[in-house]
Chain A
């Protein structure tokens, strides 16, 4: 069994979101970078569980980015995985990133490619499905459970208003969300071991970005809360009905 987990770095959830250069650039000064939670808690940890069950499993991690990604990659390796691959390129859009990952994965016999359902910064939710498209593999998005029996995977995926249990033959690409696995905290042995795990840097292949970010903007500030006395919830109902016109 050979597994590839696609990881990405994102600003910490509590990072201040601000823009510069005429709202064209995200301010990265003082930002703590973390492993995208969906990639870490769900995709990576589920893959690690599979390797724990079958130690012969080969588990690779892949990220597209510059040398500034290495600290986050080491953090991922501290959780688990045999080696990491970094495609040395400034990540363009989802199609560019998916093209890079597909180029590495092509012909290398990965049985499973795990991604998080989306990143918490660009919320594109596209890379996994695009890798599947580029490699002609089935794609299961929003997967909340994954089990394997021989060559057949059984997954639970979220559908509007419920869930669906599906089975698919390997190889396939999976977008992971809550339910797949539980968050883990790397231990000292993992952190020390991660330092000596291979982190291979490969050069990018020629690929294009089909889209481009032109500018950012912050949402308009909230006007401030209108407080209603606790003994008069009728007033809240009136405001929601007459002022907000929502009920």
Chain B
């Protein structure tokens, strides 16, 4: 019996969401008295052994270059094989784009109950109960997994990364990889930028910003705070910002530690995408904007006057001239 954690990577580096999954899986292994092991497909430039400091004892690797790109069927097949071979009883992934692509297939392949988007460690005192977000962040539910093998995908930004001592044993696995069903023709990725779903801080603009030419201060503030930028639906629909920045009910749902909404009124559809944020700051000139009801901090006023001062204050705090 063991907990097997899927370790995802991009551009040769382990993703932050995977470090969260490792720490979560390690804590769960400790809680249930079994070893914690990782599985990594493809190649990375980092020293994998050092991941032991996050609490895992072994990492199974299938170091085939082609696996650096996601092929859901290949991933599912390899992870199932290694899970079976090593008697993994709990599989942990991140509820990210990759996790979404493979967790359901793994559930079928291993006939293992799946809970996606877990927000806390399971309660294993009686049964196996996992808490997750439902109703687009408006409620939680507790789900019991009834099968002997269990799969959990962890929401980003809900479990802290903590490191201690230790190194992990690397086990190169010899697994036959089936033919790729999906051909990747091109990848477009903004290198060096913080992916919106992984960002700890997000600075977001709405219709109140009046036009795409006014996004300079939002981008500057985001850069200063190492934040990702986002926008509301009308902004994306008007073509002021790319669609992949649209957060809300029909766009992307995010759960950063800090969400700064500038010139966004806070329609219920927008809230559904951001209400899992730990702290919400709203800057809006309309004191009646519904967003203030969901905010932790707010400023009622003109964003065009507030932003320069805010940027200056952040620069002062960060010691940037």
Measuring CB to CB, which residues of chain A are less than 8 angstroms from any residue of chain B? 11, 13-14, 17, 19, 37-38, 41, 93-95, 98, 117, 120-130, 132-134, 138-142, 144, 154, 157-169, 175, 178-179, 209-219, 222-223, 225-231, 233-234, 236-237, 239-241, 244, 246-247
Contact = CB atoms under 8 A, between A and B. Distances in A.
Contacts, number: 277
B107 A123 contact: no
A94 B146 CA distance: 13
B175 to A, nearest CB: 18
17 contacts: A11-B135, A13-B136, A94-B114, A123-B132, A126-B107, A138-B182, A162-B189, A162-B190, A166-B183, A211-B143, A218-B138, A218-B140, A219-B140, A222-B293, A225-B296, A227-B298, A233-B313
B187 interface: yes
5 tightest A-B CB contacts, nearest first: A129-B104, A230-B301, A133-B108, A162-B189, A210-B113
Contacts of B310: 233, 236-237
Interface in B95-113: 95-98, 100-105, 107-109, 111-113
Contacts of A168: 181-183
Contacts of B195: 160-161
Contacts of A94: 104, 107, 114
Nearest to B185: A165
A117 B185 CA distance: 22
Contacts of A157: 97
Interface string B289-310: 0001111111111100110011
Interface string B263-279: 00000110010010011
Among B76, B136, B246, residue most surrounded by chain A Cβ atoms (within 10 Å)? B136
B104 A214 contact: no
B136 A120 contact: yes
Contacts of A211: 113-115, 143-146
Q: Which of the four size classes fits the interface of chain B?
A: 35 or more
A27 B275 CA distance: 21
A209 B143 CA distance: 12
A126 B103 contact: yes
A39 B109 CA distance: 25
B139 interface: yes
Contacts of A138: 72-73, 181-182
Among A138, A209, A239, residue most surrounded by chain B Cβ atoms (within 10 Å)? A138
B223 to A, nearest CB: 13
Nearest to A226: B297
A211 B118 CA distance: 14
B314 interface: yes
Given A166-B184, A215-B142, A134 B108 contact: yes
Nearest to B311: A233
B37 interface: no
A13 B251 CA distance: 14
Nearest to B69: A164
Given A14-B268, A160-B10, A178-B250, 12 more contacts: A13-B272, A94-B104, A125-B117, A132-B72, A132-B104, A141-B72, A161-B189, A165-B186, A211-B114, A217-B140, A222-B296, A236-B310
Contacts of B197: 160
Nearest to A209: B146
B287 to A, nearest CB: 9
B281 A236 contact: yes
Contacts of A246: 200-201, 257-258, 278-279
Contacts of B249: 13, 37, 120
B153 to A, nearest CB: 9
A166 B185 contact: yes
Nearest to A95: B107
A223 B296 contact: yes
B50 interface: no
A165 B264 CA distance: 32
Contacts of A231: 301
B134 A123 contact: yes
Nearest to A41: B250
B141 to A, nearest CB: 5
